[in-house]
Amino acid sequence: MKVKIGDVVLPGDYCDEITADGVKSKVVLGPGLRKEVDHVYIMKAGVLRKRNPNTFWVDSYQKRYVPSRSENVIGIVVQKAGDLYRVDIGGSCTAALSYLSFEGATKKNRPEVQIGDVIYAKMLVASKDMEPELVCVDSHGKKGRLGVLNDGFVFKCSLNLIRKILNPICPLLESLKNEWPFELAAGMNGRIWIKANTMRETIAVGYAILGAEYLSDDEIKTMCTNIASILAGHVS
Amino acid sequence: MAAMKKLTLPKSVLDMKFMKKTKERIENSKDHDNLYSGVITNDMKQASGNYIAESSFIYCTDLLEGRLSFKGMNPEIERLMEQEKPKGKEGDMQKDVSDEVLAKTMEKFNKRKRPFSPSKYNYIKKRK
């Protein structure tokens, strides 16, 4: 069936607006779209979105993570294999993380990473047919925001929720950031790591994030105020 | 084609003893092009046309960095956040005086200054 931008789309639908743009200029086809000979076809169920100039994608509900390049993910070290750590990132197979891809690591000076550690890493290689590869440094060899995440609490959620809370227009983090100190790492693979000073505060952050999934912006603000007032002890 | 010829070294130079490696390299690169010319057709080069396939959402939507810290929980991360933040708001952040206040002050300043500044009246006086 022929569909327009903003429609709910199903696999097998096609969109002629994209084809029309493709004749004139370069077009970026994001996740869920595929160019065949005659049309641009939809491959996932969701909402067809466009961002100027000429970027199209399908916003779909998804829990399964498919590794793709240069995304930041949260992984758990499951095995030490010679020069590599094997890291579970929730994809179809584990990712490889070289012990040299940490800041200041050399062959003699190995980073202190144990099995079971939670790490925040960037996807370096993610190809269809190969094991994905992670790094914990940027191109300048600095660790930046990547590395081992100590303490804290990890939970899983849908991939949509990650995109929702990391969207700059989402009021969730704006509402929470002035309430109490906390730290957060959101991996594009649907895992969130949070850390706060007390267990009550940690639970509150986790609850706020998970609760935000099906709420509108105004409802999120109300929910955050409620949580903050409960935490502050005004309401029991 | 003219541009291509400009880049290549003259044959006499390539024949010199110390240019042996460069000569080999140039010949190899020619071979490389010829090797695949039969296999990669123009149709194959232009098959994707104007379409760029991107498997990640991070290029489609503007997302924040996924590692954040608030109210001094992790000073290291907050320092990084501060470094990246001011780019957008720089214009407002660096202003000590707002545009309106500046406009009003300048107006007063100009009014006060006018009698002393060279004006058409002064000009007329001089002529007399």
Side chain identity at residue A236, one-letter code: S
> Which one of A61, A64, A145, A165 would you mutate to disrupt binding with B, by most B Cβ within 10 Å of its Cβ?
A145
Cβ partners under 8 Å of residue B106, min gap 6: none
Contact yes or no for B54 and A176 at CB 8 A = no
* A30 contact B CB<8A: yes
Q: What is the ipTM of this complex?
A: 0.80
Q: Residue A44: pLDDT above 60?
A: yes
Q: What is the mean pLDDT of each run of 10 residues along chain B (128 residues)?
A: 60 83 81 69 71 86 89 89 70 69 85 60 54
CA dist B100 and B84 (Å) reads 29
Q: Which residue of A has its CA nearest to B58?
A: A71
* A125 contact B CB<8A: no
pLDDT in tens, A10-23: 999 999 888 888 88
CA dist A48 and A56 (Å) reads 7
pLDDT classification of A206: cutoffs 50, 70, 90:
very high
Q: Residue A195: pLDDT above 90?
A: yes
Give the pLDDT score at A166: 92
Which of A28, A66, A183 shows the shortest C-beta gap to B54? A28
* Higher-scoring residue by pLDDT: A123, B96: A123
H helix or E strand, kind and range, residue B14: helix B11-14
Q: Residue A161: pLDDT above 60?
A: yes
